[in-house]
Structures are given as C-alpha cells and as structure tokens.
Structure 1
Amino acid sequence: MPPRQLPSKFCRFQAPAWSRTYSSAPRVSLAYDLHEPAKPSSNAPGAIIFMHGLFGSKKNNRSISKALARDLGRPVYAVDLRNHGDSPHNPHHDYVSMAADVAGFIDEHKLKNTTLIGHSMGAKTAMTLALKLPEIIHDIVSVDNAPLDAALLSNFGKYIQGMRRIEEAGVTKQAEADHILKDYEESLPIRQFLLGNLYQARDKKTKTFKVPLKVLASALDNLGDFPFKNPGEVRFEKPALFVRGTKSKYIPDEALPIIGQFFPRFELADIDAGHWVISEQPEAFRQVVVEFLKPNE
C-alpha cells in the first residue's frame, strides 16, 4: 500500500532577475525551494539539501523532495546550483566551486547535521563537499555517479549545440524549439527536460535559455573529473548511499573499490534504470532513500 499523502508546507526563494547575471564573487548565493513536512520528526537529524544534475534545476526534484519531506519528517531544500535555474551565473563551473556554494548555503541557513542528495553533477558536488568539509555533513546520497574521473555522456555536447541553434533561430514558441532539438535528441522526455530551461524575458520577443551555454560548454571537459585523486589523503567516515542505475555506465563494478576507499561506510542500491534514475523510477528511488535515511529506532 502506498504511503498516505500528507500536505507539505512549501516556500520558495528566487534570486531577483538582476542577480542572474555573471558574478565574479567566489561564492554564489543559491536559489532554492523549501519543502517542509506537515509532521516534523522529533528524532531525525537536520535538513536535506537536494541537488540536480547538468541542465537541471530545483523544479526537477519538486515531487521527490515533497515525498521525502513527508516520509522522513525533515525539511528538504531543493537548490539551483550555480549557472542553473534561478541561481546567478559565474564563469567558474567546477565541483570545488559548486561545493563551496553549498557550504555557504549551509552556513547562511544555519543548518546542522545536513544530508546531501545529488544526482549526476549534483552527486559529485555532494561527494566533493563531504570529503572537503565532513564536519558539516551528516550523510550523503550519491545518485548515479562515482568519485572518479569519467567521461560525460557524449550527448551533453550535442545538447549544447542544439540549444545554441535554438537561440540563433530566435524561436518564439516551445514547439519550434522542440522541432530543432529533434535533430540532436530523439527522446521526448529528455527534450522536454532540456527545454525546461527555455524562457522569455519580458523585454524580449524570442526565447532564450536560463543556463549560460558558453560557460557550460567550456566546463564539459572538466565535469567528468573528480577533484580528489587519492583516497589515502581524504575520506568521509560517515554513512553514504550510492544509488546506481543498472542500465547506466556511471558506476561500473570496477568503481566500487574506489568508492569504498573514499566512503568506507557506503551502501549500494541498484535500481533498474538508466542515468535518469529519479525520473525513470521515482518510487523505487524513494523507497531506497527512505530506508537509508530513516532514523534508527
């Protein structure tokens, strides 16, 4: 029987329009949605921070964030990482910078015993912060990524080409953009995911992308890398869950020993899905995360 649906409180922070320009500041103040539980747990640790993947945003994780807030009785902050969603743009896009943004978010909101959940790019951001500042993190959930250097899906470069072509075409309708993107991606759900970044400014007649395509294009070669190379020098000794899509190549079996060296208390959960684990199998994902994060009796 599925869990009883309970209403969750919800509040939103969106950076003002002027702040979503380029910032040279070393840390970016992240936009977020806060999903609060209707019945807060009295014995759970602190808040959960949920981080999306490349080309994603906080809105992609709205449903699962509400479900986890409900099931765990914990507030869930779904954030927009730098250069995504409503967060400011910055010419630097790497895991150390993104981890610093999240550390600043934790400090800014005075969060304690924080759980980090991240998918893909968000997963490597979570791992980076956990290894860099383990004292401020309670545990992590890494979704379909591992702490090693690995090439990104080749599709990401194609996506940027298609998105650039859409901007050059000066489209005014979503359908026009989708027609162009078909040349670069056959899957309708993935096209819809990418086109979720499309918007039209009030003073413009054509649509553009919220994400800075030039910055992300230059960052692609480095987004497959992981900033820590030697697990003998740094480890996260607290609980960690690695959720793997069994049809994805991002956590091969040969990666498990290196995960164990960086995260000696890690657990592995396999889900019958590709790289987009959360959208493909939301209920299976919810179950493994709740089982991992539920307080011990």
Structure 2
Amino acid sequence: MRAPVLRSIGAAPKFQRCLYHRSFSTCRPLKKEELALAYDLHEPPAGVTPGPAILFLHGLFGSKKNNRSISKVLARELSRPVYALDLRNHGDSPHALVHDYAHLASDVEAFITQHSLLSKAPSPPTIIGHSMGAKTALTLALRSPDLVANVVAVDNAPVDAALKSDFGGYVQGMKRVEEAGVKRQSEADDILKDYAPELPVRQFLLTNLIKPRDSPIYKWRIPLRTLAMSLDNLGDFPFKSPEEVRFEKPALFIRGTRSHYIPDEVIPIIGRFFPRFEIADVEAGHWVISENPEGFRKVTVEFLQDKE
C-alpha cells in the first residue's frame, strides 16, 4: 500500500498549505525553512499491532527507492511501519538552496510532527540513516531527543570529516552528462565511466536521471549545483562539544569493514555524544545496505528487538 504524499502547493510568508490524498490526523503549518518530504510507507503485516514507526533516511544522491526492499523486510520482521523518506533536494521532495544538517534534521522533525508519529505509538520513532542520512539522524537525535527512541547510523559518525573525493568526482561526471544533452541513459553511463568506474555506483547515480515528458533530453531530477556547493556542509557535523549535548538513549553505529568513514580513532568521540552506543561491523564498503543487505538486516533487527 502506498501512503499519501504530503506536498507543498503554495506558501504564504509564515505557513504552507497542505495537499491531502487522504486525511491525516493533524497538519501543523510548516515553518518557513521546513520542507514537506515525500515518502513511501511500508506497513507491517495485517492483523498485528504495529509498533513505533521507523524513519529511513538515504544518503547523498539517493532516494526512498534505494531502501524499498530492506524497508519491507524490517516492517515485516519488526511489525513496525517504516517510512522511507526523500530528503530535501532528493527524489520527489522539494528543492531548496540551503542543504546542511540543521535543515535536513528540521525537515525530519516536521515530518514526525505532521504525521503525528509520537501519538500513534507508545514510544517515539527509530531513525535509521545511511551516510548523509546517518548524520541527519544523529543531528536530529542530539537536538530533539524527545522525538527519537533510538538511532541507527550506517557508516558515518558525529565528526567533521571531508567527504571522499569520489563524491566530487560524481558531481563533475553528472555535470558532464548535463552539458552533453544525452538522449539515452547508455550515453550518460558512458560519460560517467571516467568518474565512477564501478557499475553499481553508476547505476545508483543514474536513478536520478529522468526524461521530461516535453523534452527528448534527459535531465537530473536533483539540483546538482546546490548539492555541489553543499559538499563541505555534508562533511561537517553541527555539534562540536559532547559536553554540551548528548543523546542518552541507545544508538547503533554500523561500519562497513572496507570503509573508512568510522575509523577506530573516532570511537571515543561517538561515546561522548552517544554514551549508550554499540558498534557492529558488516562486511561491506561504504554502501553497506546495498552491498550486504543480509548483514545489515541481521545487526539492525537484533539491535531493535533488544530495545523493545
């Protein structure tokens, strides 16, 4: 069953109207800087009493579609509704010139409130995020702990760390595709080979390439220039002092064994921000969920079942 998508259809200076495909229980006005996020809802099996919601946040250049299969698995095994979100400037969600973790987290906060996720269950939702989505989840947990029961951060940590140069290369390749005015995805794939030699990475990037109805030229559905200018923001982490803010609830950090995003030297910093943290290593590179979905499923289900 596909859930309704809440979309902005107009904005006055201090509020946004809401478009319904069916009724929600509440719809508070969005703050000016908040965006109404598109999402897919993966519901638990019929006949079971659903547990608290899970919000699933993708990484840079991703979308809710990337987490469709694993979201269905988690909904079934944990008997919990899973909301796979499109973060701002990605997928079907609106675009904005500002793209940093404060605004990404604010959008997700608004989503929790607008969809009444605190009143629909006995406890707040779980936030799962990969890469950019992981830092968004960690930011949300630290700034609004009452909205979060626990967090699963996949291959990222609460530290300032420049993105791998690969991401800058991906942007350059995607700009080359845009400039070439390609009429077939195969043309785009050929261009991207110089910037992303691995076929799975190119296929991932090409999920953002669409052909408008009124044009034979393929276009990127994401705002490339905005995201290119935001790469430094996405390497940063908005909280600098664990002495000032902590998340005192459970947190799981999943590391890809062939990735370098959570090196051993940052573990003490994780512990100061998230004193109830656990670390699980999964045989994979940075793209943990797609490279080893079974390994990710196993450690995530065990962690969340232990917390019920």
Structure 1 and Structure 2 fold alike (TM over 0.5): yes
User: Cα distance 1:43–1:183, how it changes in 2: closer, same or farther (>3 A)?
Assistant: closer
Look up the match of 1:122.
Answer: 133
| Aligned equivalents of 1:296, 1:131: Cα separation in 2 | 19
Secondary structure of the 2:303 match is helix
- Name the CA distance, whole Å, in 2 between partners of 1:276 and 1:103: 26
Which residue number in structure 2 is paired with residue 26 of structure 1? 33
Structure 1 residue 41: Cα displacement: 5.0
Q: Which amino acid aligns with 1:224?
A: G
SS at match of 2:151: strand
User: What residue number does 2:170 align with?
Assistant: 159
**C-alpha distance 17-103 of structure 1, shift in aligned 2 (>3 A):** closer
Q: Does structure 1 retain, via aligned residues, the 8 Å contact 2:50–2:79?
A: no
**Unpaired segments ≥5 residues, structure 2:** 12-30, 119-123
Q: Which residue of structure 1 aligns with residue 242 of structure 2? A: 231
CA spacing shift, 1:296–1:195, aligned 2, 3 Å:
closer
Residue of structure 1 aligned with 2:113, choices 87, 99, 107: 107
SS in structure 1 opposite 2:149?
Answer: strand
User: 1:70 pairs with 76, 81, 90, which one?
Assistant: 76
The count of corresponding residues between Structure 1 and Structure 2 is 284
Matches within 5 A, 1:74-113: 74-112=80-118, 113=124
- The aligned counterpart of 1:3 is none
1:264-283 superposed matches below 5 A: 264-283=275-294
CA root-mean-square deviation? 1.8
For 1:5, the equivalent position in structure 2 comes to none
Q: What's the offset of the Cα at 1:151?
A: 1.1
- Distance of aligned partners of 1:51 and 1:197 in 2 relative to their CA distance in 1, 3 Å threshold: same
Shift of 1:193: 0.1
Rounded to whole Å, the distance in 1 between the matches of 2:293 and 2:97 is 33
Q: Contact 1:240–1:266 (CA<8 Å) still a contact in 2?
A: yes
Following the alignment from structure 2 to structure 1, what is the Cα–Cα distance between the partners of residues 88 and 75?
24
Residue 38 (structure 1) aligned to one of 27, 39, 45: 45
Q: SS of 2:236's equivalent?
A: coil
Q: 1:244 to 1:215 in 2, by over 3 A?
A: same
Distance 1:98 1:110 in 2: 19
Separation in 2, partners of 1:17, 1:279: 34
| Whole-angstrom distance in 1 between the partners of 2:10 and 2:244 | 41
Q: Residue type of the partner of 1:28?
A: L
Residue 42 of structure 1 deviates from its aligned partner by 3.7
Deviations, residues 159-213 of structure 1 (Å, cap 9, x unaligned): 1111111111111111010011111111000000000000011112200101100
Q: Distance in 1 between matches of 2:100 and 2:202?
A: 25
Gaps of 5+ in 1: 1-8
2:151 maps to 140
Aligned 1:187-198 pairs, distance under 5 A? 187-198=198-209
How far, CA to CA, are the matches of 1:116 and 1:238 in structure 2?
12
Work out the percentage of aligned pairs sharing the same amino acid: 63
**Distance apart, 1:221 and its partner CA:** 1.4
Distance 2:229 2:199 in 1: 26
Alignment of 1:211 onto 2:222? yes
Q: Deviations over 1:222-266 (max 9, x none)?
A: 211100000000000001000001110100001110000000001
Aligned AA (1:88):
P
Q: Which residue of 2 aligns with 1:291?
A: 302
**1:155 is aligned with what amino acid?**
D
Q: Is contact 1:49–1:76 with CA below 8 Å preserved after alignment? A: yes
- The CA deviation at 1:25 is 3.7
SS in 2 for 1:92: coil
Check conservation: 1:83, 1:90, Cα contact below 8 A.
yes
Kept in 1, the 8 Å contact 2:8–2:36? The answer is: no
Give, as a single letter, the amino acid of the residue that structure 2 aligns with 1:38.
P
1:234-245 alignment, distance < 5 Å: 234-245=245-256
How far 1:11 moved relative to its partner? 3.1
Partner Cα distance (1:47, 1:155) in 2: 34
Inter-partner Cα distance in structure 2 for 1:296 and 1:132: 21
* Structure-2 separation of matches of 1:236 and 1:245: 23
Distance 1:129 1:294 in 2: 22
C-alpha separation between the residues in 1 aligned to 2:197 and 2:147? Answer: 42
* CA deviation after TM superposition for structure 1 residue 295, in Å: 5.5
Residue type at the aligned position of 1:11: A
Q: 1:172 aligns with which of 180, 183, 205?
A: 183
CA gap 1:295/1:205 in 2 versus in 1, 3 angstroms: same
With 35-44 and 157-166 compared, the bigger mean Cα shift is at 35-44
User: Contact 2:34–2:107 at 8 Å: present in 1 too?
Assistant: yes
Amino acid at match of 2:242: P
